Amino acid sequence: MSQEKKLQEKTDLKNSLTTYLKGVKTEWSKVSWPTRKQVVVEAVVVLAVVIFFTLVVYFMDIIFKALLGLIK
């Protein structure tokens, strides 16, 4: 490859990357970000649901162990 062609490819890559990053910046500004309060509330809800179902599965496990223990 000639040096001119290599230089042209580097320039094309740089221009493509620059165009892409400008597009990303434009789209990034269109995102509607949640408020801090909303993020905290939703995180607490998710944590509460996870804890609730963990406890449900735990107690079901205890109950089934006890029932299966009666069979033996």
Nearest to 41 by CA among 49, 32, 31: 49
Residue in the block written with tokens 């089934």 = 64
- What are the mean pLDDT values of the chain's consecutive 10-residue runs (72 residues total)? 72 88 93 95 98 98 94 79
What was the pLDDT predicted at 6? 73
Dist CA 67 CA 72 (whole Å): 9
Residue 45 is predicted with a pLDDT of 98
Of 47, 10, 56, 59, give the one whose Cα is nearest residue 67: 59
Handedness of CA 27, 30, 34, 35 (dihedral sign): positive
* Lookup result for tokens 């006890």: 66
The whole-model pTM stands at: 0.59
Q: What is the pLDDT of residue 66?
A: 94
